[in-house]
Amino acid sequence: MSTARRTAGDEACVFDRIVAGELAAHVVLDEPELLGFLDARPVFAGHTLVVPRRHAATIAELPGRLLGPLMDAGRRVGAAQRQGLGADGTLLLLNDIVSQSVPHVHLHVVPRRRGDGLRGFLWPRRRYADEQEAEAVAATVRACLAGPGAVP
Ligand SMILES: [Zn+2]
């Protein structure tokens, strides 16, 4: 399987090394373009990371055609966690750049149970000062999505 290696200093990307079989991982999903394996430090047992085999540091670098398969893998892993681990539901989470501990795109698939105590992924929240502030923010993002800097 081809992997486009990136190096930071002299060290290959840790997920590239897992994909290449150089580092051990508990693989749960092994497909031509995607690999799913247990997070070594899970939020809950079964917490899985799904990664594209080919290195992409950020979502902007990931070929758009892989986004659907990535989420679909998360859908299937979540269903397996419910079936096999007794989870009630799933948290699908993808940190892009900020809080992204490994600079290789990875989708967290975290099995959830009602009352499991997990808090804080989307906290703290704030409010817009008023509708005008909200509209100004929305207009800025809309303009960038339609502008020359938009990600294809
Ligand atoms: Zn990588």
Please check whether residue 152 lies inside any domain of the structure: no
Ligand 1 mean position, distance from CA 5 (Å)? 6
**Interval 83-129: pLDDT, tens:** 998 999 999 999 999 989 899 999 999 999 999 988 766 666 789 99
CATH code at 80?
A: 3.30.428.10
Please check whether residue 63 lies inside any domain of the structure: yes
Please, what is the end-to-end C-alpha distance for the chain in angstroms? 26
Domain containing 84 equals 7-116+123-146
Ligand 1 mean position, distance from CA 11 (Å)? 11
**How far, in Å, CA of 112 to CA of 120, rounded?**
14
- Tally the domains of the chain: 1
Residue 4's pLDDT is 47
Q: How confident is the model at residue 141 (pLDDT cuts 50, 70, 90)?
A: confident
Please check whether residue 151 lies inside any domain of the structure: no
Please check whether residue 2 lies inside any domain of the structure: no
Closest by CA position to 45, among listed 97, 105, 85, 98: 85
Ligand 1 mean position, distance from CA 4 (Å)? 8
The per-residue b/e assignment along 40-71, b for 16 or more CB within 10 angstroms, e otherwise, is eeebbebbbbbbbbbbbbebeebeeebeeebe
Helix, strand, or coil (residue 96) = coil
**Interval 13-69: pLDDT, tens:** 999 999 999 999 999 999 999 999 999 888 899 999 999 999 999 999 999 999 999
Please check whether residue 1 lies inside any domain of the structure: no
Ligand 1 mean position, distance from CA 12 (Å)? 8
Ligand 1 mean position, distance from CA 63 (Å)? 14
Neighbours of 78 (CB within 10 A): 21
**How far, in Å, CA of 105 to CA of 13, rounded?**
11
Rg (CA), the chain: 18
